[in-house]
């Protein structure tokens, strides 16, 4: 077998790159593997999340985060890959497992998303018939009554999200509240409101 060198990584096959990385811990070999597969795996992740859109509305940021997670795991596990010829399927299995685990973690947000869409429709739909409009007015009275019980900061974030239809990032910049905090507060407020709407028979 010819001597493998990182200087000609672009000319090497996947198998040769893997062997070079396993034997020499060659970082350039791993970089070449990454650049060969990052777009393929990104598209796979994005499509996986899109297919599961009924559970979660994915974003480019989600796909980027999962892509990084995939290649961190590949980097840590590649030394133990015995059959280099099976690299591609091995890589996709890792990506798939990470996506599945991610979906499992955010399953509990499904009700939050449905409620968000529900609130958005009520707030924006001007073509509802009289009966539905009456029902929705009752719901809105209930919702605003519940919102009035929230702390001012949480109420503001919630309304910016569902009434003004702003993104979490926009809300964070407007209120100077950390992005993670904004997401957490909206999530908790929405879950609690969903429970109250259900208890009141509106859901």
> Domain map of the chain by residue range?
11-107, 125-199
Task: Assign domain 11-107 to its CATH architecture.
Answer: Orthogonal Bundle (1.10)
Task: Check residue 55 and give its pLDDT.
Answer: 39
CB-CB contact of 95 with 45 (8 Å): yes
In sequence order, what are the residues at sequence separation of 6 or more whose Cβ sits closer than 8 angstroms to the Cβ of residue 29? 4, 6, 9, 12, 17, 18, 20, 21
Whole-angstrom Cα distance, residue 158 to residue 115?
A: 12
| Residue found under tokens 């993670």 | 180
Task: Please enumerate in sequence order all residues whose Cβ is within 8 A of that of 155, keeping only pairs 6 or more positions apart, or say none.
Answer: 147, 148
Predicted local distance difference test score (pLDDT) of residue 45: 87
How is domain 125-199 classified at the CATH fold level?
Arc Repressor Mutant, subunit A (1.10.10)
Q: How far apart are CA 11 and CA 7, in angstroms?
A: 9
How confident is the chain (203 residues) per 10-residue block, as mean pLDDT?
Answer: 62 91 90 93 82 55 90 94 88 87 70 58 54 60 79 79 77 86 87 82 71
- Kind plus residue range of the DSSP H or E element containing 165: none
Whole-prediction pTM value? 0.52
Look at residue 21 in the predicted model and tell me its pLDDT.
92
Per-residue model confidence (pLDDT) at position 193: 82
């Amino acid at each position: 077998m010819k001597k493998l060198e990182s200087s000609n990584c672009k000319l090497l096959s996947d198998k040769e790159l893997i062997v070079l990385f396993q034997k020499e811990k060659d970082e350039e070999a791993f970089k070449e593997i990454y650049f060969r597969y990052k777009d393929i795996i990104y598209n796979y992740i994005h499509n996986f999340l899109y297919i599961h859109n009924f559970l979660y509305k994915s974003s480019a940021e989600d796909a980027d985060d999962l892509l990084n997670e995939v290649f961190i795991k590949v980097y840590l596990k590649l030394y133990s890959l015995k059959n280099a010829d099976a690299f591609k399927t091995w890589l996709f299995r890792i990506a798939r497992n990470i996506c599945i685990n991610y979906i499992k973690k955010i399953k509990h947000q499904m009700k939050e998303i449905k409620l968000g869409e529900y609130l958005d429709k009520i707030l924006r739909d001007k073509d509802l018939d009289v009966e539905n409009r009456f029902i929705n007015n009752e719901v809105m009275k209930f919702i605003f009554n519940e919102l009035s019980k929230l702390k001012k900061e949480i109420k503001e974030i919630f309304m910016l999200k569902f009434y003004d239809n702003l993104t979490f990032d926009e809300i964070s910049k407007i209120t100077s509240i950390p992005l993670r905090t904004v997401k957490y507060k909206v999530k908790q407020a929405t879950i609690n409101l969903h429970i109250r709407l259900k208890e009141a028979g509106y859901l």
